[in-house]
A and B are shown apart, each in its own frame.
Chain A
Amino acid sequence: MRKLNFHPCGNYKERYEQEITLFETDFGRLWSGIGIFSLFAILPFIVSPYFLHVLNMVGIASIAAIGLNILIGYTGQISLGHGAFIGVGAYAAAILATTLNVPFIITLPMAGLISAMVGMIFGIPSGRLKGLYLTIATLAGQIIIEYVLVHWETLTKGTMGITLPRPNIFGMELESDLSFFFLIFSCLVVMIWFAVNLIRTKYGRAFIAIRDNDRAAEGMGIPLFRYKLLSFGISSFYAGFAGAIWAYYMVSITSEPFTLGLSVEYIAMVIIGGLGSVSGSIYGAVFITFLNELLRWLTGIMMNIGVLTESGLNVAPLREFFFGTAIVLFILFEPRGLAEVWRIIRSNFKLWPFAY
């Protein structure tokens, strides 16, 4: 048996493999094993049905948020169209499943691919534009896709929406929240594995180079346009995949949720979680989903308080207010997000009782 790895007291790395290794210590490997085990074997059986539903929403949001983090956090291309790409995925899955009767297991990746194609089309402006001009172009993309989803009635049934059949894996019907839990979280684990490893490859390093300095990256022989398109494609694949699962989970879909507001929510997840960190996207997804649920619960309570309803104030919009406040506070006080907070806490534990 080889020697166990612990945190070294300095930087003793000798080879590049040590630099890009996923688990710096065996302790981390052990803990992630324990984490995955308890996620699948313990957690779903001890939580209440409502909490299970929230967890499922967290899982779906995490998949899409990881995709967005690849685009914004690693490649540095700001996209305001992520909500629309999720919508494209959801509609692709719904149309494939209802009109073409494609089996569930194929629908998910197909929806992802269709979404990736749409994402690459709307990523084409990145060949010429960068920074805020690109942001505005993706904003236009969001609004155009939204319009198409509502008005292409022969395909999307407009505001009527589409009802999906029950998903079916090899003869097994997924019906309960519990079976969806296993589906969503096994997809999430695969997606995390892919994203984490993508960053370590040539492609991931090219993305990071483009983010840090696009001119220098081009000078080093990275074809900018191709890699930016690839990043748009991968990010929208994640979005489309998440959208497809969401469509199956919600059973019936309309174009209503896929607005600019959803895109903003996902950017908020990525920022609050931590830009350029896969685990950060998950923290962000957890934070925003729980915040949404908490605010819904709070406004529900406040609506029943007599004094407030009689004063004529409309408490429902408080959700929007607090959501905005959360974004603003994070940007002002911890722009690197929850991932950074977690890193600080961990290093405090490691170094205690010394300052550094």
Chain B
Amino acid sequence: MNFFLQLFINGISIGFLYGLSAMGFVMIFKSSSVLNFAHGELLALGAFFFLAMVTWVKLPVVLAFLATLAACFILGFIIERFFLRPLIGEPLIYVIMLTVGLASMFKGFMLLFWGGNLQTYPDFLPAFLGIEWHVINIPPVYTAALIIGIMFLILFGLFFKYSSQGIFMRSVADNQKAALSLGVHVQRVFALSWAIAALVAGMSGIVLGIINGINVHDLSAIGLKVFPVVILGGLDSIGGAIIGGLIIGLLETFTGGYISPSLSDVVPYVILVIILMVKPYGLFGLEEIERV
């Protein structure tokens, strides 16, 4: 039972991180229908930028965190402006391959400066965040991840509900042509959604880096694991991304704990194929209906 509980908590926390990483992905897809294969690299870029800020520039942690978020925001803008905007209206394969190419560029860039070894942040989290209760032992990083994650969820919820830009973004996601005809600047919305998605990715990258250490290859592998998560939750549902993340995280830790650790890497993708065959639009995704 103890083993089960520990696995359960591990699964929830890993799943929450998956959900958090998937959020940015869903945001891009929802507003501009771009499948972002460079998402893992965006996570890694955020993590490495934070590392550079903390260890090289030696900023205090809070400032470094804010600087990283700002840098990611700008990076998202740049990516959209220079790479994705020329491809609006082009066939799907070009858009997909462009993000794949970007992923390769970012990866090479990061490997050039930081190499493929595991790097870690200096320990800066206060110890009181850790929870020890009977058999349950939650390290402080997970609590911090939970707090940061929930904070971001609430902030984004408010942003999308009340701010004008958030409402524009929702309108574009809902119906691009109608939004365009009502005077929404669709291109600006695309740019903003890339920027926000990169910001979220950077944030999740930092959290992942605190927990597992920072390694380019591991973080870009998480970028691929986003796919089962978003398909399960529904490609265009932010809440679905979190729930999908939790389910995938739980499944992964339980197969890892009870069946075989090596199987846990491939189980998400088996689930992915099954979902695609049974219910391609996921749990909360919007079903596309084609009319001839």
Q: Give chain A's interface residues, CB within 8 Å of chain B.
A: 72, 78, 124-125, 128-129, 131-133, 135-137, 139-141, 143-144, 147, 151, 215, 219, 260, 264, 267-268, 271, 275, 313-328, 331-332, 335
Contact = CB atoms under 8 A, between A and B. Distances in A.
B3 interface: no
Given A143-B269, A144-B266, A335-B90, A271 B97 contact: yes
Interface in B171-220: none
Given A72-B93, A331-B97, A320 B269 contact: no
Given A143-B224, A143-B269, A135 B104 contact: no
Nearest to A333: B86
A271 B94 contact: yes
Chain A CB within 10 Å, residue with most, of B90, B224, B276: B276
A264 B102 CA distance: 12
14 contacts: A125-B273, A129-B280, A132-B96, A136-B227, A140-B269, A143-B269, A144-B269, A147-B266, A151-B262, A316-B111, A324-B100, A325-B105, A327-B97, A331-B101
B86 A78 contact: no
Contacts of B83: 328, 332
Nearest to A317: B111
A321 B102 CA distance: 9
Given A72-B93, A136-B276, A144 B270 contact: yes
B74 to A, nearest CB: 19
A275 B93 contact: yes
A323 to B, nearest CB: 6
B273 A137 contact: yes
Given A129-B280, A320-B108, 7 more contacts: A132-B92, A140-B227, A264-B100, A267-B97, A314-B113, A321-B108, A327-B97
Interface string B1-43: 0000000000000000000000000000000000100000000
Nearest to A313: B112
Contacts of A215: 290, 292
Interface of B: 35, 83, 86-87, 90, 92-94, 96-98, 100-113, 115, 224, 227-228, 231, 262, 265-266, 269-270, 272-273, 276-277, 280, 290, 292
Contact of A139 (B105, B224, B290): B224
Contact of B98 (A139, A143, A328): A328
Contacts of A335: 90, 94
Contacts of B106: 324
Contact of B112 (A132, A140, A314, A328): A314
A319 B276 contact: no
B92 A331 contact: no
B97 A125 contact: no
A321 B104 contact: yes
Contact of A137 (B35, B108, B112, B276): B276
A313 B96 CA distance: 30
Contact of B101 (A143, A144, A260, A324): A324
Contacts of B98: 327-328, 331-332
Contacts of B270: 140, 144
Contact of B104 (A78, A314, A320): A320
A143 B266 contact: yes
B93 A125 contact: no
B96 A317 contact: no
B231 A136 contact: yes
Nearest to A122: B273
B142 to A, nearest CB: 27
B280 A267 contact: no
Nearest to B290: A215
A78 B96 contact: yes
A285 B136 CA distance: 55
A335 B277 CA distance: 32
Nearest 5 pairs of A and B residues by beta carbon: A321-B108, A324-B104, A317-B111, A327-B101, A320-B108
Contacts of A319: 108
Contact of B107 (A78, A320, A328): A320
Given A151-B262, A324-B101, A78 B109 contact: no
A101 B118 CA distance: 45
A147 B269 CA distance: 11
A271 B93 contact: yes
A328 B93 contact: no
A181 B86 CA distance: 42
B240 to A, nearest CB: 15
Contacts of B108: 317-324
Contacts of A136: 35, 227, 231, 272, 276
A328 B292 contact: no
Contacts of A328: 83, 98, 101-102, 105
A328 B97 CA distance: 8
B276 A260 contact: no
Chain B CB within 10 Å, residue with most, of A133, A144, A275, A331: A331
A314 B115 contact: yes
Contacts of B272: 136-137, 140
A324 B93 CA distance: 15
B105 A324 contact: yes
B96 A133 contact: no
Contact of B35 (A129, A135, A264, A271): A135
Nearest to A323: B104
B258 to A, nearest CB: 17
Contacts of A260: 224
Contacts of B269: 139-140, 143-144
Contacts of B109: 317, 321
Contacts of A124: 277
Nearest to A148: B266
Chain A CB within 10 Å, residue with most, of B106, B111, B224: B111
A140 B267 CA distance: 10
A314 B108 CA distance: 10
A124 B105 CA distance: 33
B267 to A, nearest CB: 10
